[in-house]
Chains A and B, each alone.
Chain A
Amino acid sequence: DTGVSQDPRHKITKRGQNVTFRCDPISEHNRLYWYRQTLGQGPEFLTYFQNEAQLEKSRLLSDRFSAERPKGSFSTLEIQRTEQGDSAMYLCASSTTLAGKGDTQYFGPGTRLTVL
């Protein structure tokens, strides 16, 4: 078990550019979540997948944000036409529905996005 990994760890971009982040969950986990976290706040939920199906999206997820999990394994989060307000840490987490695991989420190291 290598844990949840995310790539890149840091991204600096200019306003208006598109960015894409990748998340690789723990291998046997069927659920995958994306969160956004800004300084002094807890993680805010963006979206969630069970296998390849995107089952829930937050109202925070504007139409500039899109997420995919095409084969039920890794996931990508794309932000189009980035704005300075998108600057944040983007966290990915995964969990399993296996009995006894409590559906506990395990987080990756995050991608820190800075929009100039």
Chain B
Amino acid sequence: GQNIDQPTEMTATEGAIVQINCTYQTSGFNGLFWYQQHAGEAPTFLSYNVLDGLEEKGRFSSFLSRSKGYSYLLLKELQMKDSASYLCAVRAGGSYIPTFGRGTSLIVHP
């Protein structure tokens, strides 16, 4: 099985930068996804990392270190609409099915 760990909740100020960490323990790593999920809505895809390093996409960036079993999602210039749950999901062991963490609830306040 896979063990995925994320902080339960984080708070940040509008306009600031926040980093959401995700650690995982797995064998046969085959990719890590980040999704955003607003309350009562479906998850929406943010990023996919399979190689080490930083992937930047607008205000959002995602980093992966396979040797450390570690990823983070970096959100810049925070907006109120960024208040949501951020889900880390890991695919491993030859399966196409990613296993999701419990998600990090981000609260952005003025």
Measured CB to CB, the residues of A under 8 A from B are 4, 31, 33, 40-45, 48, 56, 91, 95, 102-110
Contact = CB atoms under 8 A, between A and B. Distances in A.
B99 A45 contact: yes
Interface string B43-62: 11100101000000000000
Interface of B: 31, 33, 35, 41-45, 48, 50, 87, 89, 95-103
B42 A110 contact: yes
Given A40-B102, A102-B50, A104-B33, A48 B96 contact: yes
Q: Is the interface of A mostly helix, strand, loop or mixed?
A: loop
- Of all A-B residue pairs in the complex, the 4 with the closest CB atoms, nearest first, are A42-B100, A107-B42, A102-B48, A107-B43
A36 to B, nearest CB: 11
Contacts of B101: 42
A90 to B, nearest CB: 11
Contacts of A33: 97
A76 B45 CA distance: 23
A42 B97 CA distance: 14
10 contacts: A40-B102, A42-B89, A42-B103, A45-B97, A48-B96, A91-B43, A102-B48, A105-B45, A106-B45, A107-B43
